[in-house]
Amino acid sequence: MLRYALTRIALAMGTVLLTVLMLVIAIRLIPGDPAAAIMGPRATPELRAAIEARMGLDQPVLVQYIKFLGNTLRGDLGRDVRSEQPIAQMVIEKLPFTLTLIAASLAWSVLLGVVLGFVAALRRASWTDRVIGTLSIAAISAPPFVIALLLMLLFAVHLGVMPAIGAGEPGDPADQLRHLILPAIALGTGWVGYIARLLRASLLEVMTQNHFRTALAYAIPPQRLYVVYALRIAIVPVVTVLGVGIGAMVSGGVLVEIVFSRPGIGSLIYDSVVTRNYPVLIATVMMTTSLYALAMLLADLVTAILDPRVRTAS
């Protein structure tokens, strides 16, 4: 187990380091110089040189990379050239919005997905099962940002019952909750379908196993039979897939945040891409990739703890 865990941790760290290296190299490859892109045509050569020095662009790539990693380990992500704010502070300010959105989306999609998957498995091959199955596929395949746009059109613009943009007044939890509903529905819908299908398949498999048949033969009351003897085992793959879910939501959340003009890591990345603010871009991408890699790593480790075959196979 220890060896497996160490391999996975090394892989996750390798991914993050590789990403940052690729990013630093990539920024060198961009045609035109970023200082001019930030300052526009008004930039004097002195100002440009100053900005390049501030961004570390006057140093060799490798030096720049190692310096960045060293600073990151000390919690210093550099300063934003435009606003003079420390980038670490910018990221920490935006992170809670993204994490709240992911948590809310995951929470409702797991609840509904488990219920639907449970019902579909119990009523296998009935029309209920077929309707849930078809709706699940439709939900999985719909892009979150399109759902977001349609939800906004219907509930915020047409009916006017929901706020369209922002994350709500700071210090007003009720308002913040109202602003969270539409983005969380948009981001979670696909996962409802995914979890429902996964749980259905997993439950059907458990129900063919010997321990379940024995329990059935002992005439254990249905609630206890299905919840304790089937659901408790069948839910394991759902738990392990949540790590992947968090990772996917970090990615899918970017566009949803943009649609609802919600502050968050996604909007921060988008803004830094559009304004060519490279230090902020490097820092936010590193944060996001780390979050993604961490979620995947936890998923792998939980799977390995629950299922010994995984760790011996590799």
Partner 1 sequence: MTKDDPSHLQSARHPLLVVSRRLPTSARLGAALVALALLAGLAGLVGFVPNDPYKFDFANRFAAPAWDHWLGTDNLGRDIFSRVVVGSGIAMTVSIAGVGIAMILGLMVGTAAGFGPRWLDSTTIFLLDSLRTFPTILLAMLVVVIAGPSVFTILVIVVVSLVPGYARVARTQTLALRNETFILAERSLGASPLRIICHHVIPNVFAPLLVIGCMDIPTVVAIEAGLSFIGLGVRPPEPSWGTLLQDGYVHVRATPWLLVAGSIPLALVTLGFTFLGEGLRDALDPKRRRS
The nearest distance, CB 135 to partner 1, in angstroms, is 11
For residue 240, give both structure tokens: 């392990």
For residue 268, give both structure tokens: 């921060």
Residue 29 in contact with partner 1, rule: CB under 8 A = yes
Tell which positions 128-157 bind partner 1, by CB under 8 A. 134, 137-138, 140-143, 145-146, 149-150, 152-153, 157
Q: Binder to partner 1 among 116, 292, 299, 301 (CB under 8 A)?
A: 292
Binding residues for partner 1, rule CB under 8 A, total 46
Residue 15 in contact with partner 1, rule: CB under 8 A = yes
The nearest distance, CB 258 to partner 1, in angstroms, is 6
Residue 85 in contact with partner 1, rule: CB under 8 A = no
Asked whether the CA dihedral 47, 53, 55, 60 is positive or negative, the reply is: positive
Residue 254 in contact with partner 1, rule: CB under 8 A = yes
Asked whether the CA dihedral 42, 45, 46, 47 is positive or negative, the reply is: positive
Window contacting partner 1 (CB under 8 A); options: 12-20, 50-58, 107-115, 218-226: 12-20
Residue 162 in contact with partner 1, rule: CB under 8 A = no
Q: Which is nearer to partner 1, 161 or 174 (CB)?
A: 161
Of 108, 63, 129, 54, residue with least CA distance to 84: 54
Site string for partner 1, 269-288 (x = CB under 8 A): xx--xx-x----x---x--x
The three-point CA angle 58-60-61 to 5° equals 110
Residue numbers of the site for partner 1 (CB under 8 A)? 11-12, 14-15, 18-19, 22-23, 26, 29-30, 134, 137-138, 140-143, 145-146, 149-150, 152-153, 157-158, 247, 250-252, 254-255, 258-259, 269-270, 273-274, 276, 281, 285, 288-289, 292-293, 296
